[in-house]
């Protein structure tokens, strides 16, 4: 870590202006991942613009029933919020499945969306990694990759997104609100994270200097049955081998009216299972229909040498969670 400057912003405008004025500036919120990566030498900011005390720490219900979550709301506060627990249990559960109590007290909503892969080759500056240093190659593809992607990876990168929260947000049709030099804009969370393609160095569609100001949960998924399940190497405090976030609404006739299904631990971004959703919509969510739909999605999987187990793992998790929701 080289010495760097530090400025604490008092407003969103001040933050983005400070960021724009300083080459090599990075926003600091909770810092749980940024400080970690700075110690690894992966992040080398010249200035930290501290946004952790911006007035973005509120959770607010909008007149239409949508929920606006400020970017600096701590993960623990978001998980414990009554409206989140009661209307979006999948989000509360996903947050509580991640990290630890003390980390969730630090980590923010915006920061969680921006956390970077835990790929060991990415974290080790002495090894090749196209994400960290484009053009150097991917150490994981032929290396140790049990934990890596089975969906949507590219020849350049097989990293996974480590977030639990983002998987729930993907299933909930959340949107991400951004503020930057170009003004405000809104991006569906499913479009916020990128697939690696030819540019694995870009995790998200965030433009330089843009700041996440809020995440919006739409009213249409509020109150629907939802759940999060995560499989991991130890019983707690571990990243997902695979996880599933599901929202399922069945109409009075027993047919699927709405479904949101997303996988974690399988891809460079939370993997919204559109194929499976399309297959399920409008028909009764029988065990057979669920299995058929999930298989259709996971038919896209291209497992690597050592991570084929993730496909049946994700399949079992998804079938289990959807079946449980269907029985509610």
Partner 1 sequence: MPGTATSAASRTATSAATRTRVPAAPARALGAAAERLEGLDKVTGAARYATELAHTPPDCAYAWPVPATVASGRVTAVDTAAALALPGTLAVLTPDTAPRLGEPDDPNLAVLQHHTVPHRGWYVALAVAETLPDARAAAAAVHVTYAAEPHDVTLTPDHPGAYEPQEANGGHPARRERGDAAAAFAAAPVHVDATYRIPPLHNHPMEPHAAYARWDGDHLTVYDSSQGAGPVHAVLARLFGLRRDQVTVVSQHVGGGFGSKGTPRPHVVLAAMAARHTGRPVKLALPRGHLAAVVGHRAPTLHRVRLGAERDGTLTSVSHEVTTHTSRIREFVEQAAVPARVMYASPHSLTTHRAVPLDVPTPSWMRAPGEAPGMYALESAMDELAGALGLDPVELRVRNDPATDPDSGLPFSSRHLVECLREGARLFGWADRDPRPAVRREGTLLTGTGVAAATYPVLLSPSTATVTALHDGGYAVAVNATDIGTGARTVLAQIAADALGVALDSVRIDIGSTRLPRAPLAGGSSGTASWGWAVHAACTRLTERLARHAGPLPVEGLTASADTTEEAGRTPPFARHAFGAHFAEVQVDTVTGEVRVRRLLGVYAAGRILNPRTARSQFIGGMTMGLGMALTEHSTMDPAFGDFAEHDLASYHVPSHADVPSAPDIDAYWVEEEDPHLNPMGSKGIGEIGIVGTPAAIGNAVHHATGIRFRELPLTPDRVLPALA
Partner 2 sequence: MSASHAAPAQAPTRSRVTLQVNGSPRTLTVDHRATLLDVLREDLGLTGAKKGCDHGQCGACTVLVDGRRANSCLLLAVAQDGTEIITVEGLAAGGELHPVQQAFLDRDAYQCGYCTPGQLCSAVGLFAEAAAGHPSYVTDPTRPSGQGPVELTAEEIRERMSGNLCRCGAYPNIVAAVEDVTR
For residues 9 to 48, the per-residue mask of contacts with partner 1, x marking binding by CB under 8 A and - elsewhere, is ------------------------------x-x-------
Residue 103 binds partner 2 (CB under 8 A) = yes
Q: Which helix (H) or strand (E) holds 47?
A: strand 47-50
| 327 scored as a contact of partner 1 (CB under 8 A) | no
d(CA 19, CA 22): 5
Q: Is residue 309 at the binding interface for partner 1, with CB under 8 A as the rule? A: yes
- CA triple 142-143-146, angle to 5 deg: 105
User: Closer CB to partner 1, residue 191 or residue 306?
Assistant: 306
End-to-end, the C-alpha distance of the chain in Å comes to: 52
Do residues 157 and 147 touch, judged by C-beta distance below 8 A? no
| Residue 142 contacts partner 1 per CB under 8 A | yes
- 74, 108 contact by CB (below 8 A): yes
Q: Where are the beta strands (DSSP E) in 153-295?
A: 175-180, 183-188, 211-217, 226-231, 242-250, 256-264, 271-272
Q: Does 18 bind partner 2 (CB under 8 A)?
A: yes
**82 is a contact residue toward partner 2 (CB under 8 A):** yes
Q: Of 33-72, which residues contact partner 2 (CB under 8 A)?
A: 35-36, 38-39, 47-50, 52
> In 10 A of CB 209, how many CB atoms?
19
Least separation in angstroms between CB 309 and partner 1:
4
Asked if 221 and 88 count as a contact pair (C-beta separation under 8 A), the reply is yes
| Residue number, 87 or 153, with CB nearest to partner 2 | 87
Least Å distance between CB 3 and partner 1?
7
Residues of span 185-244 touching partner 1 by CB under 8 A? 231-239, 241
Q: Is 14 in the site for partner 2 (CB under 8 A)?
A: yes
Phi/psi zone of residue 267: left (φ > 0), alpha (ψ -120 to 50 degrees), beta?
Answer: beta
Residues at the interface with partner 2 (CB under 8 A): 1, 3-10, 14-15, 17-18, 21-23, 28, 30-32, 35-36, 38-39, 47-50, 52, 76, 79-82, 85-86, 89, 92-93, 96-97, 99-103, 105-106, 227, 235-237
């Amino acid at each position: 870590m080289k010495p760097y400057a530090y400025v604490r912003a008092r407003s969103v405008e001040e933050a983005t202006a400070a960021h724009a004025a300083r080459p090599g500036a990075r926003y600091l919120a909770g810092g749980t991942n940024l400080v970690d990566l700075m110690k690894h030498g992966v992040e080398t900011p010249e200035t930290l613009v501290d946004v952790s005390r911006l007035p973005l720490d509120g959770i607010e219900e909008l007149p239409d029933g949508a929920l606006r979550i400020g970017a600096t709301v701590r993960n623990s506060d978001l998980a414990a919020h009554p409206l989140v627990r009661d209307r979006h249990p999948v989000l509360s559960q996903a947050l509580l499945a991640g990290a630890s109590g003390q980390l969730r007290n630090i980590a923010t909503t915006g920061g969680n969306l921006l956390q970077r892969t835990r790929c060991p080759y990415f974290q080790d500056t002495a090894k090749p990694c196209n994400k960290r240093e484009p053009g150097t190659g991917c150490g994981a593809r032929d290396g140790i990759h049990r934990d890596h992607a089975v969906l949507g990876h590219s020849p350049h990168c097989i990293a996974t997104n480590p977030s639990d929260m983002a998987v729930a947000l993907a299933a909930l049709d959340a949107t991400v609100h951004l503020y930057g030099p170009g003004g405000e804009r809104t991006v569906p969370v499913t479009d916020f994270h990128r697939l690696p393609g030819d540019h694995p160095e870009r995790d998200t569609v965030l433009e330089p200097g843009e700041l996440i100001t809020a995440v919006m949960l739409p009213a249409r998924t509020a109150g629907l049955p939802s759940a999060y399940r995560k499989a991991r190497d130890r019983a707690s405090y571990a990243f997902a081998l695979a996880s599933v976030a599901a929202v399922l609404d069945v109409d009075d006739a027993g047919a699927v009216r709405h479904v949101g299904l997303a996988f974690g631990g399988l891809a460079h971004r939370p993997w919204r299972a559109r194929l499976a959703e399309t297959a399920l919509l409008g028909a009764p969510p029988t065990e057979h229909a669920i299995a058929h739909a999930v298989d259709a999605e996971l038919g896209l999987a291209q497992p690597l040498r050592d991570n084929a187990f993730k496909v049946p793992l994700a399949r079992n998790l998804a079938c289990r969670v959807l079946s449980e929701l269907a029985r509610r």
